């Protein structure tokens, strides 16, 4: 028979996993909403695009509506919803490298990736100097990325970071100047979290995002 401590530890792990997944689901729904804030998506479609159950999606949207962020599926407080996302976001695991000309390296990469923070902002808004290149990658591709980057540079604190999180982060990525960039809402929340000069760039970009949408 299992010890009480073993049962408790297992129960805590299950609760922890459920808590993490609830956070991931919320972020997925927010990502979908903020990429199409005009209310044209149905709740069923949002559930499909975010890979969440319809019932869970409806419940979360109901909570967002109670807080005044949305009306139905239309985002009525875009900046406030972005900042709500910032408040619940789970930071991805990251690995650092130093490589020469990281963007040139990325142009020849066949694995999926998406730029965010400094380099993404530079391509989208041209305000920040890209002092570091941050890219989202798939966990399944991590070993291949490490091998490729180790051949081209050094492992350790440097000018390029691999970010590993939920694969839904690639939703609505786009290609700019032969480079894949994360969606604007994703880049915005990542800039906000980075802080410093990135927060100033966030303030500039978010005004354009709110007006355009």
Third-level CATH fold of 92-212: Beta Polymerase; domain 2 (3.30.460)
Q: Say whether 92-212 and 4-87 share the same fold.
A: no
pLDDT in tens, 5-33: 554 554 333 333 344 457 799 999 999 99
Tokens of 207: 């005004």
The pTM score is 0.88
What does the alpha-carbon distance between residue 210 and residue 80 come to, in Å, rounded to a whole number? 11
Q: How confident is the model at residue 102 (pLDDT cuts 50, 70, 90)?
A: very high
**4-87 classified as CATH 1.10.10.60:** no
Q: Where are the beta strands (DSSP E) in 2-146?
A: 70-71, 74-75, 93-99, 113-116, 133-137
Domain ranges of the chain: 4-87, 92-212
Query: What is the model's pLDDT at position 160?
Result: 95
pLDDT in tens, 90-101: 889 999 999 988
Would you tell me the crossing angle of helices 197-212 and 117-124 to the nearest 10 degrees? 40
Q: What is the mean pLDDT of the chain?
A: 89
């Amino acid at each position: 028979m299992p010890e009480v401590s073993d049962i408790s530890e297992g129960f805590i792990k299950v609760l922890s996993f459920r808590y993490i997944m609830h956070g991931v689901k919320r972020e997925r729904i927010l990502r979908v909403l903020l990429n199409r804030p005009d209310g044209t998506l149905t709740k069923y479609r949002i559930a499909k695009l975010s890979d969440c159950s319809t019932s869970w999606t409806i419940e979360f949207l109901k909570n967002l509506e109670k807080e005044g962020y949305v009306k139905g599926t239309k985002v009525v407080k875009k900046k406030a919803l972005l900042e709500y996302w910032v408040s619940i976001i789970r930071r991805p695991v990251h690995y650092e490298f130093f490589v020469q000309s990281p963007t040139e390296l990325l142009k020849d990469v066949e694995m999926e990736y998406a730029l965010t923070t400094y380099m993404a902002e530079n391509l989208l808004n041209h305000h920040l100097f890209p002092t570091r290149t941050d890219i989202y990658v798939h966990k399944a591709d991590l070993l291949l990325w490490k091998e490729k980057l180790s051949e081209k540079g050094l492992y350790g604190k440097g000018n390029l970071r691999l970010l590993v999180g939920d694969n839904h982060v690639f939703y609505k990525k786009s290609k700019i100047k032969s480079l894949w960039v994360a969606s604007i809402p994703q880049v915005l929340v990542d800039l906000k979290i980075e802080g410093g000069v990135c927060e100033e760039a966030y303030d500039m970009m978010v005004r354009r995002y709110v007006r355009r949408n």
